[in-house]
Amino acid sequence: MRRVFLFLMTNIAIIAVLSITLRLLGVEGILAANGSDLDLQALLIFSAVFGFGGAFISLLISKWMAKRLTAAVVIESPSNNLEKWLIQTVEEQAKIVGIRMPEVAIFPSPSMNAFATGASKNKALVAVSQGLLDSMSQGEIEAVVGHEMSHIANGDMVTLTLIQGVVNTFVIFFSRVIGHIVDRVILKNNRGHGIGYFVTTLFAQIVLSILASTIVMYVSRKREFIADTGGADLAGHQNMINALKRLGQVEPDALPEQLAAFGIDDKKGFASWFSSHPPIKARIEALEKRAMQRQ
């Protein structure tokens, strides 16, 4: 809770600094001199409300959406020994990392993948694919589950939601400022916002959203290294390394966009800029180095 509070205070401070900076740079004066009536402070509040609001709504419905997007079925009563072992593994790891027992689900995919989601660390969901259960050893599965449990224990869902809220705020704010400048300053429209404003705002929002997504994905990639070490601590470095090597041998099916940041796979090439995961090779090297340091 303290981490979330500090992050929120930081975001509020960023918005306040942005408001002061825009005023000191004379942006308000430039707009006013060209017949603009844009209220930057009101726009900042509007942007923050909608930016954070959208991010938190997504977080609150994340479990509901995850189950429907992946057709994941929560294990209410284990139907076989593997499901029973999976429940026991998650329960043991939950005790170790200090969180409540999350829901455990299996989703029907032949690919090896897994994800975690939920509004908080004590109301989470861990899901693994049927392909992962069929293809990996128990040690490797334990490591993948530990990776996802580390995401939950570290509060990564909330952290990325807060970052997404900040990004959303800036995208909404600057896209409308750009649209306003084009409409009032360049097109000289002083009778309410015209088509130039709406077209420019829409275009700017798309471009800024694409650029801003690289920031969120960069943070997500950093969190993956931390989750890998968590999985290694819970299941052993070699099991985590073996699981990653197994994943690197095949091309896993992509998770829905809303869940990609909390999965276990990665992308390659230019797409890596927009990937929520670092290259598997880099993750393996980091774990091997950490294992050697601990010997």
Q: What is the Cα–Cα distance from 236 to 166, expressed in whole angstroms?
A: 36
Active-site residue, selected from the candidate residues 103, 140, 142, 148:
148
Tokens 């705002």, residue?
Answer: 201
Which residues neighbour 91 within 8 Å (Cβ) at sequence distance 6 or greater? 101
C-alpha radius of gyration, the chain, whole number: 22
H helices within 71-155, ranges in order? 81-97, 130-135, 138-153
Tokens 């923050």, residue?
Answer: 48
Ramachandran category for residue 106: left, alpha or beta (phi over 0 → left; psi -120 to 50 → alpha): beta
Q: By the 8 A CB rule, do 119 and 59 touch?
A: yes
Query: Taking the CB of residue 253, how many other CB atoms lie within 10 A of it?
Result: 14
Joined together, the tokens standing for residue 33 give 């001199």
In the annotation, is 92 catalytic?
Answer: no
Q: Which residues are catalytic?
A: 148
